[in-house]
Amino acid sequence: MVPKSWAGFCERLMLNAASGAGYRFEETSSRSLVDWRIGFAATAIIGVLMPFVLPQYSLTVLIEALIFGLLAMSLDLLVGYCRLYSFGHAAAYGLGAYSAALILTQLQLPLPAGIALAVLVTVVAAVPIAWICTRSTGVSFAMLTLAFAQLGYAMLFRFRDITGGSDGIVGIPRPAGPFGMSWFQGKTGYYYLVLGCLLGAYLLCRAIVRSPFGAVLAGIRENEAKTIALGYNTRAYKTATVVLAYGFGGLAGALYAAFAGFASPELFFWLVSGRVLIMVVVGGAGTLIGPILGGVFFVFLEHELSQVTDLWPLIFGSIFMAFVLFAPEGIWRLLTIRFKAVPDVPTADPSKKKSDAAA
Amino acid sequence: MTFLGFIFAQGLSALSQAAILFFIASGLTLIFGIMRIVNFAHGAIFMLGAYVGFTAAALTGSFLLSLLLAPIVVGVVGMAFERIFLRPLYGRRDGGAYLLLTFGLAIVLNELIRVIWGPQPLAAGIPDLLRGVVIVLGQPFPLYRLFLIALGVAAAIGVWQFLERTRAGLLIRAVSQNAEMVHALGTDVDLVRTGVFGLGCAMAAVGGVLAAPLVTAFLGMGTTVVIDAFVIVIIGGMGSFLGSLIGSILVGFVQVLGAYYFQDLALAFMYFLMLIVLVIRPGGLLGKED
């Protein structure tokens, strides 16, 4: 066993060496012209003002967009911070949605308590899934997560009595809370609930990835063998992160179920996982904000394009391929690089440097 | 109806299922073994094979000719994709880029097929030549499924002999072991990679053409199949050709028997098999630990 102080020393040494070698850590990307708190407050104010500006229809789309942003951000914890590509994040979404649907229709709980309980159920269900999936990395991890999502999809049809089979669960109420708490029953009120959840989840995730816990995740992402050698039980860290990601994903699912009023098997389907993964990558993996923007952007794009042409999934897929090929750092980094006060560490993405050299 | 005959017929049915799965899984594992690329679009390629085969059969009027034409067309498409999109990524350290790019290709192919052939399923129908039943141990058994088994066995032996006996096979095995050394010895490694990618896609296309009469060609057939294929490859060990054969037979049996005895849980059985294998041997039955 490595002594604690020794481990801390090694950690510092490793971080210094890594940043010297041109690796990007979150600390370096915060040197922007605008303090992040100002940006956050501005975004929150704009978010609060939205219902006064937007027509009712657009507000519906915006709620859906924010929910998908939350889901994409939860996946970013895995993709961006641990480099664990989950192809089955629909499982988190579906688990949250179905738990919320069952809790709200069966138990007469107030909406916030119901959603909180649904998140708890998702987290508990995620523990064994995370434990098994983190046994492998890379492709096997991707396929295991996909297998769990597809298994969940199949289970919905197996246990028809509980889940309603292909019909799903319809007529999910939004019960009012005690003390006359009913502000979330209307559409505008529900929008504020979703906005609050998203902003809160963002602050929480931001704190997590900047904590010592997040530093270990960065270590896993950059060099897992080295992190293990430093004495960290990386599998425990990865398991915890998968459970966290499921928790936030479950929150998104629960919010969606209560908003739409129904939960259908499509929520578990692999195309949902695919869409979310696209949002994360196009938005910018490892930035938290990028995936949220990606989610919001794509939901709006989808609503606009699907009215004009039925080719939008084709466009969607092509945009995604273009980003993977030419801008793997995503929209958010492309945008922020221009507004840096201090020039960022050159060729922040170590993989990019290599491909340039090879070209 | 004898019990033995029933067991035998079930076994044959499972083997014919395994034959189709083998065409997809072996291509997938071959591509992974040589290029370390996980081709998520392999299911979409399989689906493309089914649709191209349908059109080829409609144009030429011959199923056997479509079995020859579709792999050629799809193989060329695969090689073009490798050349244009995958080659620029070879320098990148992060293997996830391949996964994401081929995932994008799966979506794009799915949509292209929908645009070209339309959303309704295409019923190919079993060709007249192979229609009919054979009595095996007192049980009627479809001739087409026997044809599938024969073709599967032929392909397994053919690819194995190709890899073991020919110069091209030797190069492929060499590249999978040490690409840099092969490159240093004066072989165009990129050409080998392009060829293997095309070969893998062509094999998936054969699987698609063969599967189409059984399940009809429909959008989304690629997704279920790519998951099956990945389960097989993970069970058998990534990159192991023999492993993909064993995995195909295992999964073929689990699917057919599972569907017969536990309708709704057939899918769960397959994943359960994979989980057991992964927990015992994380690298798969014949794979190396990575």
DSSP per-residue string spanning A299-344: HHHHHHHHHH-TTHHHHHHHHHHHHHHH-TTHHHHHHHHHTBSSPP
Measured between alpha carbons, how far is residue A289 from residues A27, A202, A296, B183 in Å?
A: 15, 8, 11, 43
Average pLDDT over chain A, rounded to an integer: 80
Tokens for B52, please give them: 């191209």
Asked if residue A317 has pLDDT above 50, the reply is yes
Mind listing the pLDDT tens digit for each residue in B154-192?
999 999 999 889 988 888 888 888 888 888 888 888 888
Contact B95/A at CB under 8 A: yes
Under 8 Å between Cβ of A256 and A266: no
| CA B2/CA A225 separation, integer angstroms | 58
Q: Which of A83, A314, A358 sits opposite B96 (nearest CB)?
A: A83
- The number of beta carbons lying within 10 Å of the beta carbon of residue B129 is 12
Give the pLDDT score at A24.
43
Give the pLDDT score at B200.
93
Mind listing the pLDDT tens digit for each residue in A233-275?
989 999 999 999 999 999 999 999 988 888 888 888 877 888 8
Helices then strands, each counted (H, E), chain A? 17, 2
Lowest average pLDDT, out of A26-40, A310-324, B193-207, goes to: A26-40
Contact B288/A at CB under 8 A: no
Q: What residues in A contact B37, CB-CB < 8 Å?
A: none
Give the pLDDT score at A31.
53
Asked if residue B99 has pLDDT above 50, the reply is yes
Asked if residue A357 has pLDDT above 50, the reply is no
Query: What SS3 class is residue B139?
Result: strand
* Segment A158-169 mean pLDDT: 79
Q: Which of B104, B110, B278 sits opposite A135 (nearest CB)?
A: B278
Q: What residues in B contact A274, CB-CB < 8 Å?
A: 103, 107
Name the range with the highest mean pLDDT among A340-344, B106-110, B270-274. Answer: B106-110
**With helix as H, strand as E and coil as C, how does B69-137 read?**
HHHHHHHHHHHHHHHHHHHHHCCCCCCHHHHHHHHHHHHHHHHHHHHHHCCCCECCCCCHHHCCEEEEC
Give the pLDDT score at A45.
85
* Segment B76-99 mean pLDDT: 82
Tell me if A85 and B96 make a contact (CB, 8 A cut-off). yes
Give the pLDDT score at A15.
46
Residue showing tokens 């004009």? A308
Backbone angles phi, psi at A12, to 5 degrees: -60, -45
> What is the sign, positive or negative, of the torsion defined by CA atoms of B66, B71, B73, B77?
positive
Dihedral-angle region of residue A175 (phi above 0 means left; psi in -120 to 50 means alpha; beta otherwise): beta
Asked if residue B284 has pLDDT above 90, the reply is no
Give the pLDDT score at A119.
94
Tokens for B67, please give them: 């079995």
Domain-located, residue B228: no
Mind listing the pLDDT tens digit for each residue in A10-57?
444 444 444 433 344 444 444 556 677 888 888 888 888 888 888 878
* Residue predicted with more confidence, B78 or B234: B78
Domain-located, residue B106: yes
Kindly give the pairing relationship between strand A262-263 and strand B139-142.
Answer: unpaired
Residue showing tokens 């942003």? A69
Mind listing the pLDDT tens digit for each residue in B225-274?
888 888 898 888 888 888 889 999 999 888 888 877 776 667 778 878 88
Residues near A254 by Cβ (< 8 Å), separated by ≥ 6? A96, A97, A99, A100, A114, A115, A118, A119, A122
CA distance B235 to chain A (A): 10
Asked if residue A95 has pLDDT above 60, the reply is yes
Domain-located, residue B209: yes
- On the 0-12 / 13-18 / 19+ scale of CB atoms within 10 A, A114 is buried
Mind listing the pLDDT tens digit for each residue in A126-163?
999 999 888 877 777 887 888 888 888 888 877 877 77
Domain-located, residue B242: no
| CA B266/CA B109 separation, integer angstroms | 28
- The number of beta carbons lying within 10 Å of the beta carbon of residue B121 is 15
Under 8 Å between Cβ of B136 and B13: no
Backbone angles phi, psi at B183, to 5 degrees: -65, -45
Tell me if B104 and A146 make a contact (CB, 8 A cut-off). no
Nearest to B36 by CA among B221, B218, B239, B237: B239
**Percent of chain B scoring above 70 in pLDDT:** 95
Give this prediction's pTM: 0.79
Q: What residues in A contact B94, CB-CB < 8 Å?
A: 83, 328, 351
Give the pLDDT score at A98.
93
Give the pLDDT score at A127.
94
DSSP A165-208: GGG-EE-------STT--GGGSHHHHHHHHHHHHHHHHHHHHHH
Tell me if B93 and A138 make a contact (CB, 8 A cut-off). no
According to DSSP, residue A32 is labeled: B
Domain-located, residue B44: yes
CA distance A355 to chain B (A): 4
Q: How does residue B10 score in pLDDT terms, banded at 50, 70 and 90?
A: confident
Which domain does B118 fall in, by range? 15-123+134-218
**Percent of chain A scoring above 70 in pLDDT:** 83
Asked if residue A345 has pLDDT above 60, the reply is no
Tokens for A195, please give them: 């906005």
Strand partners, B217: B122
Domain-located, residue B46: yes
DSSP B163-203: HHHSHHHHHHHHHHH-HHHHHHTT--HHHHHHHHHHHHHHH
Structure ipTM:
0.79
* Residue predicted with more confidence, B114 or B287: B114
Give the pLDDT score at A38.
83
Asked if residue A353 has pLDDT above 70, the reply is no
Give the pLDDT score at A352.
45
Mind listing the pLDDT tens digit for each residue in B124-162?
777 777 777 777 777 778 888 888 999 999 999 999 999
Domain ranges of chain A: 26-269
Give the pLDDT score at A253.
94
Under 8 Å between Cβ of A118 and A250: yes
The structural domain count of chain B equals 1
Mutate to test the interface with B, among A273, A318, A321, A329 (most CBs of B within 10 A): A321
* Segment A264-289 mean pLDDT: 86
Q: What residues in A contact B39, CB-CB < 8 Å?
A: none
* Segment A304-328 mean pLDDT: 82
Tell me if B93 and A350 make a contact (CB, 8 A cut-off). yes
Under 8 Å between Cβ of B98 and A85: no
Residue showing tokens 């396929």? A143
Measured between alpha carbons, how far is residue A194 from residues A92, A205, A307 in Å?
A: 17, 16, 26
Q: Which of B97, B108, B290 sits opposite A317 (nearest CB)?
A: B108
Backbone angles phi, psi at B35, to 5 degrees: -110, -5
Q: How does residue B95 score in pLDDT terms, banded at 50, 70 and 90?
A: low
Tell me if B271 and A147 make a contact (CB, 8 A cut-off). yes
A/B interface, count of CB pairs below 8 Å: 122
Backbone angles phi, psi at A2, to 5 degrees: -85, 135
Q: What angle do CA B55, B60, B61 make, to 5 degrees?
A: 90
Kindly give the pairing relationship between strand A262-263 and strand A169-170.
Answer: antiparallel
Give the pLDDT score at A33.
61
Query: What SS3 class is residue A241?
Result: helix
Domain-located, residue B61: yes
The radius of gyration computed from the CA coordinates of chain A, to the nearest angstrom, equals 21
Under 8 Å between Cβ of B208 and B49: yes
CA distance B54 to chain A (A): 23
Name the range with the highest mean pLDDT among A240-249, A331-340, B30-39, B54-63. Answer: A240-249
